[in-house]
Amino acid sequence: MSLTDSTPSSQANTLCAFHPSSQLCHYCKAIPWRDPSSIDTWSKESDDSTHDRHYESLLLLQESADSGCILCRHFWTSVTLAIPVTERDPSEVSLSFSFEEVNRLQSRMHMIARFKGTMRVCGPIFFGAVRFGEVDGLSGTETRLIKHFTPEGLDNDLQDLIKTQIQPWIHGCGRQQVGHELCNRRETTKVLPTRLLDVGESEDGEAKIFTVSESTQSTKHPYLILSYCWGDANETAKTTTGNIEQRLKGFDVASLPRTIRDAIKLTRAMGFRYLWVDAICIIQSSGDHDSGDFEKEAIKMRDYYANAECCISASLARNSSEGFLQQRPAWRFPIQPIILAYKAPSPPEPQSWVLQVHGHEYRTSDMLTKLPLRGRGWYLQELLLSSRILHWTPYFLLLQCRSSYFLEGNLNRFSFPPSLLIFDPRQFLETPNDKLLSAEGWLALLQVFSRMNLSYPRDRLYAIEGIARLVSQRLNVKYSHGIFWTSLAQGLAWKYPNAWSRPPFPRQPQFPTWCWASNGHVNFESIPAECSLIRFTHRPPSDTRTGHKTAAETFHLRLHVTAPLMHLTLRPKDGCRVGQVGHDNQSDQKYAFDIDPNNEIVANAEPPFKPEWLACDGMVEQEVTVQVVLLSQTDLGPERKYIGLLVKDISNGKELVYQRYALIRMWAEGVRLPDRPPVSEIILE
């Protein structure tokens, strides 16, 4: 049956729309809804899918929606959520529909959009068949309004959104009302930012940098804080030694990137006087001999985000020039609950069947995971430490506090369906203390963090310093450069996700070889605390350099540790690079392995030794003797398992000094590996 026929087929059920805007266009009336009264005979093997064209273009769909068709309005929303309509002419987008019966009580509609040689599936929209009486079906329906943010209506939309949702949310959060039961657990400190941006009170007025240290510390300065992507458009935002004196007196904000201007606009509209923006409130480097005060300020960001009243998260903007108060074409129309009903056969009892259109919330998880800001390394710390966050997305505002999520246009808390849950690093703070440094806590967080991007890879440890300091204080344990001292073996046992993974960029030379931050994406080997063999000596990490050192240069640290050493020999043999692993050079304790051309090392079939070599970053072209620094030992009956670091000897004759080369796991089925060698004092660089 063609959906383009304006006369509904006798095989389709004529719909009666129970809705204040009870209009359906002729195409939507012709959709072949299955009669729910026949569900007992419904079979999945039946022809349950119909494909045909609906409106010829997105422009025609828009015209139908403007005329009042309530289904076309939902279809328009689904298409424009998938295709940024501001970037394309709606008349160039052609549409076709795929209507499918999912099961006895549910149908779904996919919109297929084609434009400029590409195709995209939009939706789906779900329709659920439920037995309701006419009055019952209409009860409790509400229209959800999401702001359109057209240029001419932006100011009014923003003021209304603040009044009806943002301010009540902050009020409820501060008073622990329903939905805010956990919101008193703020990780606040007494540290205020060194500088704040005073946005003033006038919409068109100047802003100026306010130096907090010059005021009385007892005076509270409530402020908002901005989380955003810099990109390559943030130069005009930077405060340097050359312009700070002028900015202390006042400056025109018109020259600032749009994202920062939007944040200033929102701060003023919310009734706040102060805003913290990193590029403005931290003196940025302006050359080799002027490093600004980034290194001093970076370690305080934990306090800055924790103490802010709210974090403005410009989640949708790929760089600072795009802004976040953007027009939202998808919400040209309100989200109106639709109940489409038709009468079932009268005998034995008169009743109505209802097809209820589900909203678009099911796409929330997918929308959030693909936002540009979520891939930014600094974002993890900003997300975890902030007490309240306004996530500005292309689709809606998502409000997040310690207790709940709230979606724009809905005052009730929002829960992600179990199948759509996204990783939420804020749950890290709820981890019990005894698991905080385990694979379920800190190490899991590092695995996510290592996959995030940084404009400057040298900032990787800075970007997680605030979280580390929080954990350090909470557990009263020492932390240094990515390693907690009580979990040394666990922090050193990093590896690439699998034996075929390569680092996305060369090892960063400013990091020591043992540091997980030196090589991009990493996972961590699980090592029980009681199996650890490596310990810090009483000497603190030391730097090999002399004279003035920046914080970045102190990453060239030496770890002074005690651990067992096991010798390892790699040598070419029979045209391929073959090595042997042994204990204390005893020839009767050797097991063979191969190194393939890509520098991953795999086990020979014989003898039954199964090393897994990961994270190699160099080539072994000729015979070389290295050592394994053993991190852990596990004895399981007759079998023994070692986890260690393959290291290169760079000793100077006075001390045993090594560089990390790879992670190795050694065990053999039915074979007990040799006893571990004695403990030695060594240095890792």
Query: In sequence order, what DSSP letters do the residues of 528-586 get, joined into one string?
Result: -GGGB--EE-SSPPEES--S---TTGGGSEEEEEEEEEEEEEEEEETTEEEEEE-STT-
Query: Alpha-carbon distance 557 to 481, whole Å?
Result: 9
Among 320, 341, 360, the domain-final residue is 360
CB 661 within 8 A of CB 677: no
Regarding whether 340 and 227 lie in a shared domain, the answer is: no
Is the pLDDT score of 140 beyond 60? no
**Residue 479 and residue 482: Cα distance in Å, rounded?**
7
159 occurs within a structural domain: no
251 in a structural domain:
yes
Domain assignment of residue 621, yes or no: yes
- Average the pLDDT over each of 90-99, 249-258, 607-616, 629-638 and give the range with the smallest value: 607-616
pLDDT the model gives residue 423: 58
**pLDDT beyond 80 at 474:** yes
CB-CB contact of 137 with 341 (8 Å): yes
C-alpha to C-alpha distances, 85 to 258, 315, 329, 394, 522, nearest whole angstrom: 21, 19, 7, 12, 38
Contact (Cβ atoms closer than 8 angstroms) between residue 236 and residue 255: yes
What local confidence, expressed as pLDDT, does residue 535 receive? 93
- State whether 197 and 282 are in the same domain: yes
316-362 confidence digits (pLDDT tens)? 899 999 999 999 888 888 877 676 665 555 544 444 445 555 555 54
Confidence band, pLDDT 50/70/90 cuts, at residue 605: very low
pLDDT per residue over 6-59, tens digit each? 333 333 333 343 444 457 888 887 776 555 444 443 333 334 444 555 788 888
Which of the four pLDDT bands, split at 50, 70 and 90, describes residue 250?
A: very high
ω before 607 within 30° of 0 (cis)? Answer: yes
Return d(Cα 398, Cα 424) in angstroms, integer. 14
Lowest-confidence segment of 127-131, 190-194, 334-338, 558-562 by average pLDDT = 127-131
Judgement on whether residues 426 and 467 belong to the same structural domain of the protein? no
List of E strands, 574-656: 576-581, 591-595, 601-603, 612-614, 624-636, 639-649
Q: Quick one: average pLDDT of 627-648? A: 84
User: What is the domain extent for residue 576?
Assistant: 433-684
| Backbone angles phi and psi of 627, in degrees to 5 | -130, 160
Tokens for 370, please give them: 């693909």
| Residue in the structure block whose two tokens are 């009263």 | 476
> Residue 451 — pLDDT band, cuts 50, 70, 90?
confident
Q: Determine the number of helices (DSSP H) and then strands (DSSP E) in the chain.
A: 16, 31
User: 601 versus 408: which is more confidently predicted?
Assistant: 408
Domain co-membership, 448 together with 342: no
Helices (H), 106-252: 134-138, 154-161, 167-174, 244-249
Q: Would you say 31 and 98 are in contact if contact means Cβ atoms under 8 Å apart?
A: no
> For the ranges 6-15, 105-114, 452-461, which has the lowest average pLDDT?
6-15
Q: What angle do CA 353, 355, 359 make, to 5 degrees?
A: 150
Question: Quick check: is 603 in a domain?
Answer: yes
Residue 127 lies in a domain: yes
Residues 275, 276, 279, 280, CA torsion sign: positive
Q: Would residue 6 count as lying in a domain?
A: no
pLDDT bracket for residue 366 (50, 70, 90)? low
122 compared with 348, residue with greater pLDDT = 122
446 and 401 within one domain = no
Classify residue 7: in a domain, yes or no.
no
What 8-state DSSP symbol labels residue 75? H
pLDDT band at 218 (very low <50, low <70, confident <90, very high): very low
Q: In this predicted structure, which of 212-226, 230-244, 250-264 has the lowest mean pLDDT?
A: 212-226
| Same domain membership, residue 497 and residue 643 | yes
| Dist CA 669 CA 657 (whole Å) | 33
Residue 544 domain-assigned? yes
Closest by Cα among 413, 412, 406 to 391 = 406
Rg (CA), the chain: 31
Same domain for 218 and 355, yes or no, is no
pLDDT score at 598:
35
Whether 487 and 388 share a structural domain: no
Query: Is residue 392 domain-shared with residue 446, that is, in the same domain?
Result: no
Residues 84 and 60 in one domain: yes
Query: Is residue 612 located within the same domain as residue 546?
Result: yes
- Residue range 359-385: average pLDDT? 75
Per residue in 481-495, pLDDT tens?
Answer: 899 999 999 999 998
For residues 541 and 566, membership in a common domain is answered with yes
Q: Over the chain, what is the mean pLDDT?
A: 75
Give how many domains the chain has, as a whole number: 3
Instruction: Single out the residue of 413, 226, 396, 390 nearest to residue 320, CA to CA.
Output: 226
